[in-house]
Chain A
Amino acid sequence: MSLDAVPARPGFTSELGRVAKAFPTLLRVGVSEVVAYRAEFLVWILTTNMPLVMLAIWHAVAADGPVGHFDQRAFTTYYLGVLAVRLLTSNWVVWQLSMEIRDGTLSAKLLRPIHPIYALAADHLSAVPMRALVISPAVAILAYVGWDRLLRHDGALALVFVASLVGAWLLIFFTMILMGALAFFVESALGIFELWLGVHAILSGYLVPLEALPHWAGAAANVLPFRFMLGFPVEALVGLLSRHDALWALAAQWGYVAFFGAAAVGVWRVGVRHFSAYGG
């Protein structure tokens, strides 16, 4: 199908207004969906257990003395931070989108008076409050164990951290829309995304703190987008970054957000023109 079916193209501001009006409802729908499928929701959360496994391993390693300037306590706060940030910012847009493109259910969504990207955003944002609730015990332990270094007790750094969380969410969301929209063109979009995930696991700080990587890998991680999806907010939270470094990282992160946002929208526009729904 083509976009011709959409009523006369409205201006951008009126579109934003419409989205703003619809958003609370969309969020409410999302939240009640989470509540309805709560068992499934919990199982999904439990699948993010790698940080805890890595924490156990580093604990065993650091039992006889600190590694670099990470002692057992620093590892605890780091990996609990990874767990919290990961659960708050991750989503599954790429699977959803590539599936909807492939089986044609996207065509019905294109007919709705709201752009599918906004609908997807609302869908995944509405999971955040419940996720925050579930991981709050982990955050409490983190705050208790790492209190003396938490955000370096600096209000400015706290603001940077909040901004970095929002940035990480947007960055992950946009990269996933981009990869998912590749399904408009190629069959193995999910395969490409899996390659991306593999690199992400290493260069985002998910498996090991970036400091522990060899020097050249750490340097690469500083310029690539992966660190800004996870490692950077965690480092800010547990007090590994000075205010100066954090501000620079924040600027880089939001630069990436803008870049991937534009790329995602661009690929989407071209792709949707390509799209001839199968079923629907």
Chain B
Amino acid sequence: MTATAANEIRPRRAGPAALLRRYAGLFRVQLAMSALTAMQYRADFVVKGLIAILWMGVTLVPVLVVFGVRKSVAGWSFPESLVVVAWFTLLRAVLEGAVSPSLTAVVEHVRHGTLDFVLLKPADAQFLVSTAKIEPWHLVDVVGALALFAYAFGKIGRWPSLLNLGTGVAFLGLAIIILYSIWILVVSASFWVIKVDNLSYLFGSLFDAARWPITVFRGALRVVFTFVFPIALLTTYPAMALLGRLDLKTALAALGGGLAFAAIARRVWRRALALYTSASS
């Protein structure tokens, strides 16, 4: 069956408030399902929590080693870089906890042809697939990120102002939107070339570079990491916002660019979905 057919089965259009309420309810149900699933495997839960802590350490080691030999690198001091690492840890938690698991499941659906069952449900397919699976143990990463923020700003000795904090939060929203959009683009690719599960690994490995401030990269790498795979937007600019080093013009341009990116991703997803013809059934 085709996606357009599925869209027509949707119930009569309701007002935006009712729609919002309906989706909030759906979101709650999806969240509860994920939590229940995760709690079924308690031993796994502990192992995964340990892994999260270990990887936080692994993330820090190169930073510690680098700043063990230099006071500042490419204009960033040690505590300032820790702010970037904290952003990275926070975003990784969001990515691996909330974005990747669901969207990896879509790739599986497309390959097995079981996406039909999702498309048949009377709700927006992108919403359904994006909230299907959440891995709660990544909360460990969130706690770690907050601890890093606290340590870094304690070391700097100056806490971010309310305005800086506000910009930071806005950038967090933007970063999540961008991460999600890139992921949606990757998943959309799975409608054309079925075997993209390793594209997600490529995505993850590139995202790893986001633990460093963008200024350490020179030449072509800097351009790629600013515009093509915008890790600068993901961690460096938010960190600069918190540190009060970001001017308003850059901030607004970044926000605009991020939103445009999300809009494009949504369009591509719609196009890709229209192409979907079930694999098996």
| CB within 8 Å for A201 and B58 given contacts A56-B216, A212-B69 | yes
The answer to whether A43 and B198 touch across the interface, beta carbons within 8 angstroms, is yes
In the complex, whether A14 has a CB less than 8 A from a CB of chain B is no
* B interface residues, tally (CB under 8 Å): 36
Q: Quote the shortest CB–CB distance from A65 to chain B (angstroms).
A: 9
The answer to whether A67 and B69 touch across the interface, beta carbons within 8 angstroms, is yes
The answer to whether A198 and B55 touch across the interface, beta carbons within 8 angstroms, is yes
Interface string of B60-72 (1 = CB under 8 A from A): 0110011011100
A207 to B57 Cα, complex, angstroms: 13
Query: Please, which residues of chain B bring their CB within 8 A of the CB of A50?
Result: 205, 208
In the complex, whether A208 has a CB less than 8 A from a CB of chain B is yes
In the complex, whether A54 has a CB less than 8 A from a CB of chain B is yes
The answer to whether A47 and B62 touch across the interface, beta carbons within 8 angstroms, is no
Query: Which of the residues A53, A202, A214 comes within 8 Å of B208, measured between beta carbons?
Result: A53
Query: Please, which residues of chain A bring their CB within 8 A of the CB of B47?
Result: 188, 191-192, 195
In the complex, whether A145 has a CB less than 8 A from a CB of chain B is no
The answer to whether B58 and A202 touch across the interface, beta carbons within 8 angstroms, is yes
Query: Please, which residues of chain A bring their CB within 8 A of the CB of B51?
Result: 191, 194-195, 198
Query: Which of the residues B195, B199, B212 comes within 8 Å of A53, measured between beta carbons?
Result: B212
The answer to whether A56 and B218 touch across the interface, beta carbons within 8 angstroms, is yes
15 chain-A/chain-B pairs, Cβ below 8 angstroms: A37-B195, A47-B201, A53-B212, A54-B62, A56-B221, A58-B66, A60-B217, A60-B218, A61-B69, A61-B70, A187-B43, A187-B44, A191-B47, A199-B54, A208-B62
Closest chain B residue, CB of each to CB of A209: B65
- Residues of chain B at the chain A interface (Cβ within 8 Å): 41, 43-44, 47-48, 50-51, 54-55, 57-58, 61-62, 65-66, 68-70, 73-74, 193, 195, 198-199, 201-202, 204-206, 208-209, 212, 216-218, 221
A54 to B216 Cα, complex, angstroms: 10
Query: Please, which residues of chain B bring their CB within 8 A of the CB of A20?
Result: none
Interface of chain A, main secondary structure = helix
Interface string of A157-197 (1 = CB under 8 A from B): 00000000000000000000000000000011001101100
Query: Which of the residues A188, A194, A212 comes within 8 Å of B65, measured between beta carbons?
Result: A212
The answer to whether B62 and A188 touch across the interface, beta carbons within 8 angstroms, is no
**With A47-B205, A199-B54 given, can you name 6 additional A-B contacts, CB distance below 8 Å?**
A37-B195, A48-B205, A53-B208, A191-B44, A195-B47, A195-B51
In the complex, whether A13 has a CB less than 8 A from a CB of chain B is no
Interface string of A49-70 (1 = CB under 8 A from B): 1100110111111000001100
Query: Please, which residues of chain A bring their CB within 8 A of the CB of B209?
Result: 49, 53
Query: Please, which residues of chain A bring their CB within 8 A of the CB of B65?
Result: 208, 212-213
Q: Quote the shortest CB–CB distance from A249 to chain B (angstroms).
A: 22
The answer to whether A208 and B61 touch across the interface, beta carbons within 8 angstroms, is yes
| CB within 8 Å for A61 and B66 given contacts A43-B202, A49-B205 | yes
In the complex, whether A40 has a CB less than 8 A from a CB of chain B is yes
Q: Quote the shortest CB–CB distance from B281 to chain A (angstroms).
A: 20
In the complex, whether A44 has a CB less than 8 A from a CB of chain B is yes
Closest chain B residue, CB of each to CB of A46: B202
The answer to whether A60 and B73 touch across the interface, beta carbons within 8 angstroms, is yes
